[in-house]
A and B are shown apart, each in its own frame.
Chain A
Amino acid sequence: MRMPLPVPSEISQPFWVGCNNHELLVQQCSGCGKRFFTPAAICPHCTDERLTWVKSPGIGTLYSFTIVHRPASPEIATPYVLATVDLDDGWTMLTRIVDCDPDLVRCDMRVSVRFLSVADNVTLPCFKPLG
């Protein structure tokens, strides 16, 4: 079940280090106080450049999903569930839903982060049903 591995950039490196440590890190703007994803050089909300990495509680709500039956490339096992999750601390990410029968996934279900090791030193922040 192997998707292409992410190639970190100088901006995103802390995110992936956090994942290896099973911490969901996200950038927060010191100007407006908002959090955002994907990692950026300036705040997408207010363009301030004073950004810090903070730990997210990793709990949120599933906004939308799709059960993929035909994979991006043949060596990837299916089905898998792609989803967009709205984190409670105010940001959104694309991810995968795991530890759940795909047919039971629903929009607006509550989810929490579940770190998945996919290769040496590569950990993906997937999400599972909360509770």
Chain B
Amino acid sequence: MILRDVVIAGVYASQQARLIEDRTPMQLAIEVIRGALDDAGMAMDEVDGIAVDWPGPGGAPGDFGSWARYFGGSLNWIGESLFSTAGVRGLAQAAAAIATGQCDTIVMGGGMAGTEARKRFATVSAGSAREFFDCWGAYVAPAFALIAQRHMHEFGTRPEHLAEVAATIRNNGSLNPEAVMFGKGPYSIEDVLSSPMISTPFHLLDICLVAQGGAGMVLTSRERARDLPGKSVSILGIAQEIHDGIYVHPPVYRADGRLGKNALERAFGMAGLAPADVDVFCLYDPNSFEIIRQLELLGLCSEGEGGPFVAEGSIRRDGPHPVNPEGGCLSYSWNGVQQMTLKIVECVRQLRGDAGNRQIQGASIALATVGGPGAHKFEAGVFGLA
């Protein structure tokens, strides 16, 4: 088997909302497992690998071995940590297990629900790891802002460029019935620029949501998927790039501004494709500037030209390079870690032609990315119908 023989056979996204109080995290995890398997047309007894978050009760939180007794009492593979359950990084680990023949069918995913879950997530990276970070009052948004601010200084990128990205993606989310921000807006550049400043240059509307919800995926072999009722999606290329631990050091543009360029080249190289071949871009958007930065990494415009590039309407749904048609982390959802999985879920839906009123016509190649300089890591996956 090679990488592209590993397919995503099923995807599931739960309700996404500011607060989900009618389900426990455990119930949400079970919901995404069942949802993804139903979407694949597969049964629980066929699953032999799990990377779904185990929130408890019963068994230590994060010990995925606790799932085994619901899957026939024996698994051939489990994921290692919260990041194994989500996004391109989790997908890469699971795909490697299947591609090397260690197991046949993996369910991955999880979700955040309720006020207790929010507290647990907040303590993920506390302690002396952030000795030279927390004491300055640094946190996620200002860390990313350091990159945007330097880019504006070096290349003349303007707040209006960031606002164009924010307005475009939020207006996509406004039309998506599944989005946390469904029905809100529409937003203009002026609306973004007049929203409260959080950390220069980011206004409130330049920064992603904080919400809850879950997602899940089923991976299996292309061979197995031939007998399944639905359309499966091949993983054509996948790569990561890691510069540092998370939130230990500040990002600096000269070292971290191009974080992801190598991962993208590897992923596209594996796929035998170029960024110009991509029909739909599901790019990680913790803030609006990250879209500008990634367009430059992709070479769709040169370094420093991302601002004017988006000002031309390049990333709109009817533009040449549609970005985050479902609303992204800015307005569809951010739910702890599974927003990373939602990038891939949207890729799959677009490639299947299942994206409803946000369908990009004729989508046959999709790109999902996760991470950014603030977190010193980046992941990219290239997808096409199997």
Chain A interface residues toward B at CB < 8 A: 3-9, 12, 37-38, 63-72, 76, 80, 82-84, 92-96, 107-108, 124
Contacts and interface: CB of A to CB of B under 8 A. Distances in A.
B123 to A, nearest CB: 13
Contacts of A93: 132
Contact of A96 (B127, B136, B149): B136
Nearest to B198: A70
In order of increasing CB-CB distance, the 8 nearest A-B pairs are A66-B145, A64-B150, A94-B250, A107-B153, A4-B134, A6-B135, A67-B200, A72-B139
Given A3-B137, A7-B127, A64 B147 contact: yes
Contact of B146 (A3, A8, A37, A65): A65
Interface string B128-151: 100111111111011001110110
B134 A69 contact: no
B198 A5 contact: no
A64 B132 contact: no
Interface residues of B, number: 30
Nearest to B134: A4
A9 B142 contact: no
Contact of A69 (B133, B147, B196): B196
Given A107-B150, A107-B153, A66 B134 contact: no
Interface of B: 127-128, 131-139, 141-142, 145-147, 149-150, 153, 196-201, 248-250, 252-253
Contacts of B200: 66-67, 69
Given A66-B200, A69-B199, A80 B135 contact: no
B253 to A, nearest CB: 7
A63 B150 contact: yes
B136 A94 contact: yes
Contact of B199 (A7, A12, A68, A107): A68
B206 to A, nearest CB: 12
A84 B199 contact: no
Contact of A38 (B132, B142, B145): B132
8 contacts: A3-B135, A4-B134, A65-B149, A70-B199, A71-B137, A72-B134, A72-B137, A72-B138
B144 to A, nearest CB: 9
A37 B132 CA distance: 10
Nearest to A71: B137
A80 B137 contact: yes
A64 B148 CA distance: 9
B131 A66 contact: no
A94 B131 contact: no
Contacts of A66: 142, 145-146, 149, 199-201
Nearest to A67: B200
Contacts of B201: 66
Contacts of B134: 3-4, 6, 72
A97 B271 CA distance: 46
A4 B129 CA distance: 13
